Structure 1
């Protein structure tokens, strides 16, 4: 298990547009493994390679849903892990219908804001074996995928909220960092 340091705002690397992966080799597969370990260690549900300082178009996602999501689901039950790797992911289309979700980001610790995004998206990507996939995504998976692909393009979730809300969130983060120091 190799947990990598997470790049945090205001690091300028978070604004880079990541390069496509040219060859899926052992190094890329190790990056996926390390990113997955890092995501779990940080209690996240998604991570883009740039968030660990690698400017390549690689994303890992695991919504870590509980085995029983019903009303009587045991809150202490371990989440079912189902990590997925997306190499060179690309959004092919999005729905006109939108949804709002309170988003957070491992690169902007402990800060959340409601972000409006398309409710559904169609995505294509390569897996770690180089096989091409295409899938219609909705709900939290759609939101998470759009959030992570934004990272690959140098966009953060705070870029989707008003300037006033963004300024308030960044001041709150600065205050939290100052308190922790």
Structure 2
């Protein structure tokens, strides 16, 4: 199981490098990494287990965050109603954002990251809607349309695959500047 000590921290060059595409069929080790990243998200979202293993809760984890410069990420966005299945739960291999909305969106509380140990205040403006193409661990192609919070989470993880961290998007001159037509989520 991936623990907090296994998470690559800000300052490690792997977080600032463009990750390499994976080729199919994936190796057993690559598939196992995908499953372990999803397991981390599942365990971290369970309060009792997260406390037991000293995990910070996460909704996304990209391969560079576990030291692998490859284009894979796990995303687990729970439903607000805990009795319902997750809004989006997938292991994304070689994801590509095909289209994005003009309308921006940002989390009203700002973003955080398992790889960044400090709080970095400010709005992180992203696209409110995206169309995403990705492959599962078996190489099957999928296309998903995401909006609001799930779209923000996927864009955060997608940035990790391109060597970008969330705070790179914060306007340092006006950290809480709003944009015309932008939506604050949460």
- Do both share a fold (TM > 0.5)? yes
Report Cα offsets for 1:59-86 as digits up to 9, x if no partner.
Answer: 10001224x3xxxxxxxx6785563100
Q: For residue 36 of structure 2, what is the aligned residue in structure 1?
A: 34
TM-score, normalization by structure 2: 0.76
Q: For residue 13 of structure 1, what is the aligned residue in structure 2?
A: 14
Distance 2:33 2:89 in 1: 13
User: Larger relative contact order (C-alpha < 8 A, sep ≥ 6)?
Assistant: 2
Distance 1:110 1:163 in 2: 16
TM-score, normalization by structure 1: 0.78
RMSD: 2.1
Is the 1:105–1:111 Cα contact (8 Å) retained in structure 2?
Answer: no
Task: Name whichever of 128-137 and 53-62 sits farther off.
Answer: 128-137
Q: For residue 118 of structure 1, what is the aligned residue in structure 2?
A: 127
Q: Which runs of 5+ in 1 are unaligned?
A: 69-76, 167-181
Task: Name whichever of 143-152 and 4-13 sits farther off.
Answer: 4-13
How many residues are treated as equivalent by the alignment? 156
Bigger proportion of residues as helix: 1
Distance 1:64 1:116 in 2: 22
Task: Describe how 1:90-169 pairs up with structure 2 within 5 A.
Answer: 90-101=96-107, 102-109=110-117, 111-112=119-120, 113-163=122-172
